[in-house]
Structure 1
Amino acid sequence: MSQQATILIIDDEPQIRKFLRISLGSQGYRVIEGGNGREGLACAALEKPDLIVLDLGLPDLDGQVVLRELREWTQIPVIVLSVRSSEAEKVMALDGGANDYVTKPFGIQEFLARVRALLRDKQHAATDVAQTVSGPLCIDFAYRRVSLNDQEISLTRKEYAVLAALARHVGRVVTQQQLLKDIWGPSHSGDTHYLRVVVGHLRRKLGDDPAAPRFIVTEAGVGYRLVADR
């Protein structure tokens, strides 16, 4: 996969970007770069890389914020690469959706091994769950497309993130707290009104009657469940 994989580096230190560009390029990876959080988010959206290397100490946005914004719309694997070595920072990043955490200074051979492992995992995941179908509802994870009765539906980032989270656990209840933490961030785990609004919008776009749902079932006081394919 290395000959085809694109890796995005989001780091404000030119020397680190150069070192990673040379090291990753020598392994056959295509490397793109963002020098701050906003550049990195734009590159992620436009280039759709296979993996992201993310620094936390960025000049415009904290890396934890960048990670949270990424996880609103994509499950691209993310390796955090940071001088921050505290357990609290690592836990926050991993809970926020990071796949791995490497502390600077770092050994390049171990880092490259972690890159290879995450790209293998991504390749397997894309093969296993490219699409989830619930009756006439189709969710294509590879291209972030949702269609109903073969007609594509336009969703906001939050709407897609909620539907995709339910689809990854189709037939099973996903708690309100889990959805809020994963999509809005750990500090919003009690803001259930955010979730109710988004689910309401989703139901309208899907033509789903909450009193007799075809797709999204409310488990009162617990969370939501996407109905399994009938």
Structure 2
Amino acid sequence: MNERRTVLVVEDDPDIAALVGGYLTKEGFSVASAASGREALAEFDRCIPALVILDIGLPDVDGIEVCRSMRERSDVPLMFLTARDDEIDRIVGLELGADDYVTKPFSPRELTARAKAILRRSQITSSSDQVMRQGAVTVDLGRREVTVGSELADLTAREFDLLAYLIEHTGLALSRQQLLDGVWGYDWYGDVRTVDVHIAQLRKKLGDAADIRTVRGIGYRWA
């Protein structure tokens, strides 16, 4: 399924970079590497990756700044890999458009599974003419675009998939685990609270048009 898609691994620790790159290569991916922020941006422009795995603690430029620069260029899926487990870092990273956040130490197999799940969800669907409308919100599954009224919403790949899943199940109360299974995938491992962070981002970006209701004791539903 990978068709030799390229994953850009940005990590200044050569042992970790080799470990991650080795597992991705075994899964059939082409791997590009960078050990600094400046090198990462140059490699990003050169190889046009399908996914970026980005360490926050880089020697020259903070990974969050690198993420911001990449987001100005593209909406390519991006995963943070870092030793920093501070909630503020996590929220800032997700607000900038990161699709996932993995803290060290980590399981290489789990990291690879998450990378594959992100790439699987980010693939453009074959039903390019499928459009869903709910109130002022229009979701174009083929173009992977969301508009609120006449304005294009700036969503990450994960936020798009979560919104589409909620609207596809309009009126149904979905638990956090159901949302994780349906959007992140059954092979995703992590804290269910990541759903809450992404819901908060959707509400912020969609404003009053975000008809996402919190269902006490269960999860969320699109009303």
Length, aligned pairs only: 144
SS of equivalent residue, structure 1 residue 70:
helix
Q: CA deviation at 1:112?
A: 1.2
Rounded Cα–Cα distance in structure 2 between residues aligned with 1:128 and 1:23? 33
Rounded Cα–Cα distance in structure 1 between residues aligned with 2:67 and 2:126? 21
Aligned to 2:149: 172
Rounded Cα–Cα distance in structure 2 between residues aligned with 1:78 and 1:101? 9
Rounded Cα–Cα distance in structure 2 between residues aligned with 1:92 and 1:53? 16
Rounded Cα–Cα distance in structure 2 between residues aligned with 1:125 and 1:45? 25
Aligned to 1:198: none
In the superposition, the TM-score normalised over structure 1's length comes to 0.57
- What letter corresponds to residue 49 of structure 1 in structure 2? P
Q: CA deviation at 1:172?
A: 2.1
Contact kept, 8 Å, 2:55 with 2:80, in 1: the verdict is: yes
Q: CA deviation at 1:111?
A: 1.0
Q: How does 1:1-230 map to 2 (within 5 A)?
A: 1-124=1-124, 128=128, 168-170=145-147, 172-174=149-151
Aligned to 1:148: none
In the superposition, the TM-score normalised over structure 2's length comes to 0.58
- Map Cα deviations across residues 32-78 of structure 1 (whole Å, 9 max, x no partner): 10110111111111110110000000011100000001111201100
- What letter corresponds to residue 122 of structure 2 in structure 1? K
Q: Based on CA coordinates, which of the two structures has the bigger radius of gyration?
A: 1
Rounded Cα–Cα distance in structure 2 between residues aligned with 1:116 and 1:126? 19
Rounded Cα–Cα distance in structure 1 between residues aligned with 2:127 and 2:5? 15
Rounded Cα–Cα distance in structure 1 between residues aligned with 2:8 and 2:73? 16
Change (3 A) 1:12 1:99: same
Change (3 A) 1:30 1:87: same
SS of equivalent residue, structure 1 residue 71:
helix
Q: CA deviation at 1:125?
A: 5.8
- Map Cα deviations across residues 89-127 of structure 1 (whole Å, 9 max, x no partner): 100000011000000000122111101111101213697
- What letter corresponds to residue 2 of structure 1 in structure 2? N
Change (3 A) 1:125 1:11: farther
Structure 1: tracts of 5 or more residues without a match: 130-163, 183-230
Contact kept, 8 Å, 2:19 with 2:108, in 1: the verdict is: no
- What letter corresponds to residue 74 of structure 1 in structure 2? S
Change (3 A) 1:171 1:102: closer
Q: CA deviation at 1:25?
A: 0.8
RMSD of aligned C-alpha atoms? Answer: 2.8
Q: Tell me the percent identity.
A: 35
Q: CA deviation at 1:21?
A: 1.4
Change (3 A) 1:113 1:128: farther
Contact kept, 8 Å, 2:7 with 2:31, in 1: the verdict is: yes
Q: CA deviation at 1:174?
A: 4.0
- What letter corresponds to residue 59 of structure 2 in structure 1? P
SS of equivalent residue, structure 1 residue 60:
coil
Change (3 A) 1:104 1:3: same
Q: CA deviation at 1:22?
A: 1.1
